[in-house]
Amino acid sequence: MAQGASWRRLGGPSQVMRSSYARALVNIGLIVGSERALVVDTGCGPRHAAEVLAAVRSVTPLPLVVANTHAHWDHFFGNAVFRHDGVSDFWAHAAARRHMAGTGESQRAAVSGVEPEMAAGEGPCTELVLPTRTVGADPVELDLGGVSAILFCLGPAHTDGDLMVGAPGVLFAGDVLEEGADPQFEDADRGGWVRVLRTLAGMGGGYPVMVPGHGNPVTAEFAARMADTMEGAVEGGAFESRANP
């Protein structure tokens, strides 16, 4: 299992693992139905993803589907390991797929210290595996067998292709929500991000648990506070571009 990590049950079919591999403290989501399971994000390269996959397999032997919440390296560089496990359906927002295709190779440098094979593009499972299925303006419902996962976008925010993954009572929001660290703005639509956070703040009735891309699960009230802070920074011109993730 990923270094120092364990699954945390969120209620219903959903769990989250805060994977502590190297410096990629990314949350991995898992939604398990009776026929297949959905994995939310795959980590930063083959070494990391192999640990994530082993952790997933400690929970379920079912066929897997993958959803990448956005196009930053720590959320999709592990896709090849999952393809090797038989995954054929990789979902993302259409804009995220375009961003992965356009910037994926240049993002390899970000993992040189922790995933040298991935950084060099040499060795097993180091190829960039792009999403095979995309979400546009309309939500997509995935039937996992007695459990539905809803894939949808609320508009540009952390990136122009942020994907939300909804399960009963739980929303995986990727880096649109950031707990325990500063948000990252390099690819952000700052005004749009505030608007999306306001929308999330009104969704607590359907999703009492919201999982950020990094950090602990939060609530809609956290999204509202994050929106207030970000709106004040936007209006005050206080934002500085920071490096991803």
Tell me how far the alpha carbon of residue 49 is from its chain's centroid: 13
With respect to residue 195, please indicate whether it lies within any of the assigned structural domains: yes
With respect to residue 241, please indicate whether it lies within any of the assigned structural domains: no
With respect to residue 114, please indicate whether it lies within any of the assigned structural domains: yes
pLDDT 10s digits, 174-210:
999 999 877 888 888 889 999 999 999 999 999 999 9
With respect to residue 72, please indicate whether it lies within any of the assigned structural domains: yes
With respect to residue 244, please indicate whether it lies within any of the assigned structural domains: no
With respect to residue 134, please indicate whether it lies within any of the assigned structural domains: yes
With respect to residue 167, please indicate whether it lies within any of the assigned structural domains: yes
Q: Which of 60, 6, 1, 67 is nearest to 36 (CA)?
A: 60
Q: What is the CATH number of the domain that holds 22?
A: 3.60.15.10
Section 77-82 average pLDDT: 98
Q: CA separation (Å) from 30 to 95, 99, 112, 129, 135?
A: 23, 24, 28, 20, 19
Q: Band of the pLDDT at 16, cuts 50, 70, 90?
A: very high
Asked which of 87-91, 122-126, 221-225, 228-232 is least confident by mean pLDDT, the reply is: 228-232
With respect to residue 1, please indicate whether it lies within any of the assigned structural domains: no
For residue 1, pLDDT beyond 60: no
Q: Which domain holds residue 144?
A: 7-235
Looking at per-residue confidence, does 243 or 79 come out higher?
79
User: What is the number of domains present in the chain?
Assistant: 1
The pLDDT score that the predictor gives to residue 140 is: 98
Q: Which of 167, 188, 223, 234 is nearest to 16 (CA)?
A: 167
